[in-house]
Amino acid sequence: MADTAGRPNQRRRTRKDLLDAAARLMKQGRRPTLEEVAEAALVSRATAYRYFPSIEALMVETTLDVAAPNADDVFKGAPGDPAGRVEKLDAAFESMMLTNEAGLRMMLAQSLQRSLTEEGGQLPKRQNRRTPLIEAALAPYKKEFSPAAFQTLSRALALIIGTEALVVFKDVLQVSDAEARKVRRWAIRAMVEAARK
């Protein structure tokens, strides 16, 4: 069904109702089934399945809608040094991730799942939000780094800032959010400094 054909308004409304209901339930820390979301959205189970093949798919979309940091306001009033700007970005990511943790874990799990099902060694196409933002953070100081150092630093920072690091801190190291933040900031400073030479 095309975007304009049929009754696009009704479709968008139904879809939005489902996403809203899912967001509401997830915000309560619940892990709803597709049936529960349908009920909360006041649509039938069959209709819910028409829009999303599984609760996972729905939760992924829910998270994507909620969580998209914007470069412009992330760096608003950012300090005048590269590490400070990266820390600002880290803070934005952290707050986004903590409020959307369930959805992000779901997305990561989904992506890993897919990487195992996918035929022909296809990698799961996973959108990369962090690299553009990391580069934006470093951009004003780009000339302080050699091109190679800039690229290496960007990539290394991608290990520190993102869902995967959150998972390491919480599930593997089992440290508090505050401790995790401290470690990230220390690592950011260490790496930005090292790249500067």
8 binds DNA (CB under 7 A): yes
Binding residue for DNA, selected from 20, 24, 33, 180, defined by CB under 7 A: 33
φ, ψ of residue 75 in degrees (nearest 5): -95, 10
**Considering Cα of 119, then 130, then 197, then 139, what sign does the dihedral take?**
positive
Q: How far is the CB of 28 from DNA (least distance, A)?
A: 17
116 binds DNA (CB under 7 A): no
45 binds DNA (CB under 7 A): yes
49 binds, among its own copies, DNA, none (CB under 5 to 8 A by kind): DNA
134: its two tokens: 């990391």
Q: Give the residue carrying structure tokens 């005048």.
A: 80
CA torsion, points 60, 63, 67, 68, in degrees to nearest 10? 30
Give the residue from 88, 78, 77 showing the smallest Cα distance to 188: 88
CA torsion, points 172, 107, 100, 173, in degrees to nearest 10? 0
* # chain residues binding DNA, by CB under 7 A: 25
Binding residue for DNA, selected from 24, 30, 50, 129, defined by CB under 7 A: 50
Binding residues for its own copies, rule: CB under 8 A, are 29-31, 102, 105-106, 108-109, 111-113, 115-117, 121, 123-124, 126, 128, 130-131, 152, 155-156, 158-160, 162, 164-165, 167-175, 179, 182-184, 186-187, 189-191, 193-195
7 binds DNA (CB under 7 A): yes
48: its two tokens: 């819910």
Q: Give the residue carrying structure tokens 């933040």.
A: 181
Q: Looking at the chain, how many residues does it have?
A: 197
Nearer to DNA among residue 46 and residue 172 (C-beta): 46
188 binds DNA (CB under 7 A): no
Nearer to DNA among residue 6 and residue 132 (C-beta): 6
Amino acid at 20: D
67 binds, among DNA, its own copies, none (CB under 5 to 8 A by kind): none
CA distance 138 to 82: 6
From the CA atom positions of the chain, what is the Rg in Å?
A: 20
Return residues touching DNA (CB under 7 A): 1, 5-11, 13-14, 33-35, 42-47, 49-51, 53-55
